Chains A and B, each alone.
Chain A
Amino acid sequence: MSLLEARVRVRRSPQSLEVDLDADPGDVIAVIGPNGAGKSTLLRALAGLEPMHQGTVRYDGRAWDGPGAARPLTPQERGIGMVFQQHLLFPHLTALGNVAFGPRSRGARRRESEERARRWLTRLGVEDLADRRPRELSGGQAQRVAIARALATDPALLLLDEPLAALDVGVAMALRLELARHLADFGGIGVLVTHDALDTLTVANRVVVLDQGRVAQVGTPDEVAQRPQTEHVARLMGLNVLRGQGSGTAVALDSGGTLVTTTPFEGRVNACFSPAAVTLTLAEPTGSARNRWPGTVTSVVPHGAAVRVHLAGPAPLIADVTPGAAAELGLAPGRSVWAAVKATEVGVYGIAAPPAQAPLRSRYV
């Protein structure tokens, strides 16, 4: 039996949310998926802020919601910590007052609450900002205070809703590493909604991919990163994933066109390759690459030191090229090009049946 056993069922439009989630102490679960997949709703249902029409949430053998609970426990009764994308610090309280709010609400004396708050501000490295109001804090500082506020109540469950999404890249990077450390020390269960592949890889030990209110994939961060089952995750991880019907070493792509691999496979298949493995030319290539498709450039954006090019065509894909090559080929939206990928660069794996109805079991997913 897991510490947290949640069968979350929320009626909402356009599609209801049906997600099963089990977790053990020390688990940090990243929840990823496109906008509208139900990520935030999942967190709100676990917190008791969103009513469930059926389903259960059990924590440590105690029913929070569903059969066994006379009524759904209120958020106050659940003992949770929550961190939001917008820090949502109380604007009329100082940083210290914000962090002390939880302990104080849970019955601690004023002095005790403030001492506790000060300790947490120190752990997050913002003790010298204790007397500032939220509007006098930078985004990163405010989010540190918000994390301290959530942890200061010793929550059973820590729910983080895109906590780093509103921060500058550099600030987010520093805080991400610290967050990973605090979550490791925390020892409870963390659930992290994110849009960021790095969050998933550095902070979480398990990943749940949501799509249209259902679980589309579960696994370790590595598994999900290397074998994404949804287009969204593939894009998130910066991979090309094309679906099709395998027959020997040939794959008839769902998008039209054919793809050749070196690994024979029969049946429904994902073919995946890195954007760096794609070469672009203006004329149809005649080299050794087995896979070549015509395509139209839909967008060209800087991506680190490279340029990331999105193509539409029989094989919609992303390609990373050098800025020099992009200039030489005159890459701009609307430009017609040929894309080529060596068969040896393509990995294939079967398309998993959606595990939506099967509860995740501990870490062995």
Chain B
Amino acid sequence: MSRNRLGRPPAYLLLPAGLAVALLLVPLASLVARAPFGSLLERLAAPEVLDALWLSLWTATAAMLASLVLGLPLAWLLARVEFPGRSLVRTLVTVPLVLPPVVAGVALLTAFGRTGVVGAPLRELGVTIPFTSTAVVIAHTFVALPFFVISVEGALRATSQDYDEVAAVLGARRGAIFRRVTVPLAAPGIAAGLVLGWARSLGEFGATITFAGNYPGVTQTMPLAVYTLLQEDLEAAVALSLVMLLVSVVVLALLRERWFGQAAR
């Protein structure tokens, strides 16, 4: 046993550490304990639950794809190309990370609302975004994109730029280097960023309810459904929460190799 070679860990460190674990685990355990296992399948098969589940899955996936298409080029620019204002762009991109989600929702409303900079011209064309499923996807992308960009930029920076130079010397143009060298080498980091962004979308609440509303079947995602059900049917809310807990555990398992595997190595 090598861990105690420097002496016993003192109680004033062990105690708070134990409390921290308890604080994190007790609520989860009681959630599982309160779950109505007998009627679980029946409750989850209820139409409004299935609607919320399906909406959550496809909007989170759409937001993930939007993050990939928009975020990967941005992450690459931030990691590989020197341009004036680069650190300013990086700072601005990270703002939504610390923004309260409800503020994000209000901001999106002012931009895409009927009189917003984007919303007004769109309305001329007969397109309304707020309180539609599209709004859900936009809200999700807004909160997930910064996660994706920051995590992929880190992955790109961690990949040696030497290989880019080797590829250039061998005659590959910038775009070919990106496709054939940079992206394949950073693929694990990009995948982790996608999973992280997807999980972030799935749990999104504040921006969605503010910008897209809470319409069953249209904008009522899983977290919104849990919140709504909580008012009338605690057991149903617990059942739904259990599903989301399960999803989180699966995400954690997917990322485990990447995060904890490296730390343990």
Q: A interface vs B, CB < 8 Å? A: 47, 49, 74-76, 79-82, 84, 88, 90-92, 101-102, 105-106, 149, 153
Contacts and interface: CB of A to CB of B under 8 A. Distances in A.
A352 B246 CA distance: 78
Given A90-B181, A91-B185, A92-B184, A76 B165 contact: no
Contact of A105 (B163, B165, B171, B185): B171
B127 interface: no
A132 to B, nearest CB: 17
B162 interface: yes
Contact of A75 (B162, B169, B180, B181): B169
B252 interface: no
A82 B185 contact: no
Question: Max chain B CB contacts within 10 Å: which of A47, A84, A105, A149?
Answer: A105
A68 B11 CA distance: 75
B183 to A, nearest CB: 10
Q: Which of B162, B168, B170, B180 has the most CB of A within 10 A?
A: B170
A90 B168 CA distance: 13
A91 B172 CA distance: 17
A80 B163 contact: no
A88 B163 contact: yes
Interface residues of B, number: 16
Contacts of B184: 92
B166 interface: yes
Nearest to B177: A105
B167 interface: yes
B66 to A, nearest CB: 26
Nearest to A107: B171
Contacts, number: 48
Interface in B227-241: none
B163 A90 contact: yes
Nearest to A86: B162
Given A75-B169, A105-B171, A105-B176, 4 more contacts: A47-B169, A82-B169, A90-B181, A106-B171
Contact of A49 (B169, B180, B181): B169
Interface string B153-183: 0000000001101111111110010001100
A116 to B, nearest CB: 13
A325 B185 CA distance: 56
A101 B172 contact: yes
A49 B165 CA distance: 7
Nearest to B172: A105
Interface string B110-122: 0000000000000
B165 to A, nearest CB: 6
Contact of B169 (A81, A91, A92): A81
A94 to B, nearest CB: 13
Interface in B168-226: 168-173, 176, 180-181, 184-185
Contacts of B185: 90-92
A12 B12 CA distance: 53
A92 B166 CA distance: 14
Contact of A74 (B168, B170, B180): B168
A121 B2 CA distance: 49
9 contacts: A75-B165, A75-B169, A76-B171, A92-B185, A101-B180, A102-B170, A102-B171, A105-B173, A149-B170
Contacts of A79: 171
B170 A153 contact: yes
Contacts of B163: 88, 90
A84 B165 CA distance: 11
Most buried by B among A49, A76, A81, A92: A76
Given A88-B162, A92-B185, A101 B170 contact: yes
Contacts of B180: 101
A41 to B, nearest CB: 14
Contact of B168 (A76, A81, A149, A153): A76
Nearest to B160: A88
Contacts of A91: 185
**Ordered nearest first, which 4 A-B pairs have the shortest CB separation?**
A102-B170, A105-B172, A105-B171, A106-B171
A90 B182 CA distance: 10
B2 to A, nearest CB: 30
